[in-house]
């Protein structure tokens, strides 16, 4: 295909859309306003949801329609995916307008509703109508009254509102298999900020802010299950492991696409990804393209695609995409940090053997929109080397000198035995139940665990301000919150190597 190892070129059309919402800066940059002080803890999210009249709107919250579409005929999925990507684009544009009209909002309490949320609802209504048409055109049954998902809310400084009424594991399942206990992120109850504005936050202006950081020494040890995916005694189930070495993206293979959720849509992610392994992954890659691609993995039998949002240091510098959609024009600014280590490891199941993953299986773990969606699909573990028994979910850790930042992600490890993907990209896989077994009808597969280590200078946090913060790339309206971290995987192990992995794990060996 000739698309190996490259940095995304941004079409002029997407540049123009993003630039239209900019507050001019020298060099074509963009100031994003951030008036939301903190994501807070899960328990805090369930309290104090009162909306003060005339409160300054921090960001925009819209129903995540893609997660509500459980049954979409295969023939309709491509068209539906394009409309879902358009809904994301509409939110991005509305947030940019929100950020660039603060003076008008101050003078007119109805401005946000009349000039931003009202027009956004009209655009979303049209896209939702087209989703229904796409489904019915191929003989499917569209969910009744998709229009009920058209309306969006402005979220004031005081508190975000969760859509799921609280926490819980992905797919309403338990996440102990990956050590993901969403009900305790280290005992860090930061409390309310009282709506205090803490500056624009970050070099890009839309986050992060001081309250998004916590000293790792202030996190309680052993407050979450360790991310090893196995019982402590390690003497039951399938106890082996298989490690694949695919590098750290030293060849700068980046783009702002997501072929899983937005196939055929340039800049469908609205943030930049690192790619290791498969080198042909972009929005237009077919399964055949991916199967025939080059790979950075040491074992050439692994052409799988591993990708995650980049981590940036917001120290005043810019990177190659400072004027690109998905980059600087959408608030993702600063120096892109290459991981010092990228460990890709597959482990077994607590209660029994694992089976081979099917070719082209897609798994998304975490939720890029969890700041506005709520915690139902959040799956984040931030820590520091030397302190990895202390993990936080909605804070970036401040690591002591000599310690490095660690991002750990543990994927769903149960498969429905039939589908390589699902309409909402989640229901074909699941996390194990509390006893370590898979839900009825699901089979245990090797669990992918991704551990990324970064050399990051510790930000300076004082007097409610943060200097030189670091943050993951996000959708603009997600304000660079750490809870939005996520990870993606597409399986393209060849059959022999996958079988070798399964045998290794089931026999209790550690292989690579």
Q: What pLDDT is stored for residue 223 in this prediction?
A: 67
Give the residue-averaged pLDDT of 410-433.
97
196 within 8 A of 37, measured Cβ to Cβ? yes
Residue 23 or 384, more confident: 384
Instruction: Kindly tell me if the per-residue pLDDT of 183 is higher than 70.
Output: no
Q: What pLDDT is stored for residue 54 in this prediction?
A: 43
Instruction: Kindly tell me if the per-residue pLDDT of 84 is higher than 50.
Output: yes
Q: Is 103 helix (H, G, I), strand (E, B) or coil?
A: helix
CB within 8 Å of 167: residues ≥ 6 apart: 42, 182, 183, 374, 375, 376, 378
Give the residue-averaged pLDDT of 326-344.
97
Beta bridge partners of 155: 59
Task: Please report, rounded to a whole number, the percentage of residues in the chain having pLDDT higher than 70.
Answer: 78
Q: Which pTM value belongs to this model?
A: 0.84
Q: Is 148 helix (H, G, I), strand (E, B) or coil?
A: helix
Bridge-based pairing state of the strands 510-511 and 241-244: parallel
112 within 8 A of 94, measured Cβ to Cβ? no
Q: What pLDDT is stored for residue 20 in this prediction?
A: 33
| pLDDT tier at 60, thresholds 50, 70, 90 | very high
CB within 8 Å of 107: residues ≥ 6 apart: none
pLDDT in tens, 208-218: 999 999 999 99
Q: Rounded distance, CA 293 to CA 279, Å?
A: 6
Q: Concatenate the DSSP letters of all residues of 149-201 into one string.
A: G---EEEESS----SSSS---GGG---GGGT--TT-SSS------TT----S-
Closest by CA position to 413, among listed 359, 351, 352, 347: 347
Q: What pLDDT is stored for residue 9 in this prediction?
A: 38
Q: What pLDDT is stored for residue 39 in this prediction?
A: 33
| pLDDT tier at 14, thresholds 50, 70, 90 | very low
Q: Rounded distance, CA 289 to CA 159, Å?
A: 45
Q: Rounded distance, CA 311 to CA 456, Å?
A: 10
Instruction: Kindly tell me if the per-residue pLDDT of 4 is higher than 60.
Output: no
- Residue matched to tokens 């994301």: 88
Beta bridge partners of 337: 311
| pLDDT tier at 7, thresholds 50, 70, 90 | very low
493 within 8 A of 225, measured Cβ to Cβ? no
pLDDT in tens, 450-472: 999 999 999 999 999 999 999 99
Ramachandran class of 167: left when φ > 0, alpha when ψ lies in -120 to 50, beta otherwise:
beta
Rg for the chain (alpha carbons), in Å? Answer: 22
Q: Rounded distance, CA 304 to CA 285, Å?
A: 13
Beta bridge partners of 274: 254, 308
Residue 17 or 250, more confident: 250
Q: Rounded distance, CA 458 to CA 450, Å?
A: 23
Q: What pLDDT is stored for residue 201 in this prediction?
A: 72
Q: How many residues does the chain have?
A: 512
Give the residue-averaged pLDDT of 339-360.
98
């Amino acid at each position: 295909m000739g698309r190996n190892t490259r940095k995304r070129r941004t079409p002029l059309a997407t540049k123009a859309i993003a630039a239209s919402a900019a507050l001019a800066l020298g060099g074509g940059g963009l100031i994003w306003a951030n008036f939301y002080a903190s994501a807070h803890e899960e328990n805090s999210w369930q309290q104090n949801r009162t909306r003060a009249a005339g409160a300054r709107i921090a960001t925009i919250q819209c129903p995540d329609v893609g997660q509500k579409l459980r049954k979409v005929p295969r023939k309709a999925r491509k068209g539906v995916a394009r409309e879902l990507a358009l809904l994301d684009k509409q939110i991005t544009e509305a947030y940019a307008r929100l950020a660039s009209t603060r003076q008008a909002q101050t003078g007119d309490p109805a401005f946000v509703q009349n000039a931003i949320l009202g027009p956004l609802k009209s655009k979303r209504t049209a896209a939702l109508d087209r989703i229904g048409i796409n489904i019915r055109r191929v003989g499917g049954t569209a969910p009744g009254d998709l229009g009920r998902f058209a309306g969006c809310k402005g979220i004031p400084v005081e508190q975000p509102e969760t859509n799921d009424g609280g926490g819980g594991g992905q797919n309403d399942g338990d996440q102990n298999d990956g050590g993901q206990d969403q009900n305790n992120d280290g005992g860090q109850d930061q409390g309310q900020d009282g709506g205090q504005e803490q500056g624009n936050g970050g070099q890009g202006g839309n986050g992060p802010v001081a309250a998004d950081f916590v000293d790792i020494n202030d996190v309680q040890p052993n407050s979450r299950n360790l991310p090893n995916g196995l019982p402590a005694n390690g003497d039951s189930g399938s106890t082996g492991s298989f490690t694949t070495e695919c590098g750290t993206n030293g060849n700068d293979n980046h783009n702002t696409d997501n072929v899983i959720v937005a196939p055929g849509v340039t800049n469908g992610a609205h943030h930049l990804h690192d790619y290791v392994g498969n080198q042909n992954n972009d929005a237009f890659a077919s399964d055949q393209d991916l199967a025939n691609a080059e790979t950075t993995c040491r074992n050439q039998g692994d052409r799988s695609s591993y990708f995650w949002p980049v981590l940036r240091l917001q120290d005043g510098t810019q990177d190659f995409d400072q004027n690109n959609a998905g980059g600087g024009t959408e608030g993702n600014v600063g120096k892109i940090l290459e991981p010092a280590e990228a460990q890709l490891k597959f482990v077994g199941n607590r209660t029994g053997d694992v089976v081979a993953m099917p070719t082209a299986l897609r798994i998304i773990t975490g939720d890029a929109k969890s700041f506005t969606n709520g915690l139902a699909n959040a799956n984040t573990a931030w820590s520091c080397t030397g302190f990895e028994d202390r993990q936080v979910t909605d804070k970036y850790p401040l690591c002591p000198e000599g310690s490095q930042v660690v991002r750990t992600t543990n994927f769903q490890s149960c498969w429905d035995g039939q589908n390589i993907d699902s309409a909402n990209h989640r229901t074909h896989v699941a996390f194990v139940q509390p006893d370590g077994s898979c839900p009825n009808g699901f089979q245990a597969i090797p669990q992918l665990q991704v551990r990324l280590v970064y050399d990051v200078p510790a930000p300076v946090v004082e007097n409610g301000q943060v200097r030189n913060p670091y943050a993951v790339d996000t959708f603009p309206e997600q304000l660079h919150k750490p809870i939005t971290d996520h990870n993606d995987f597409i399986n393209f192990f060849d059959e022999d190597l996958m079988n070798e992995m399964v045998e290794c794990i089931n026999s209790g060996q550690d292989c690579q």
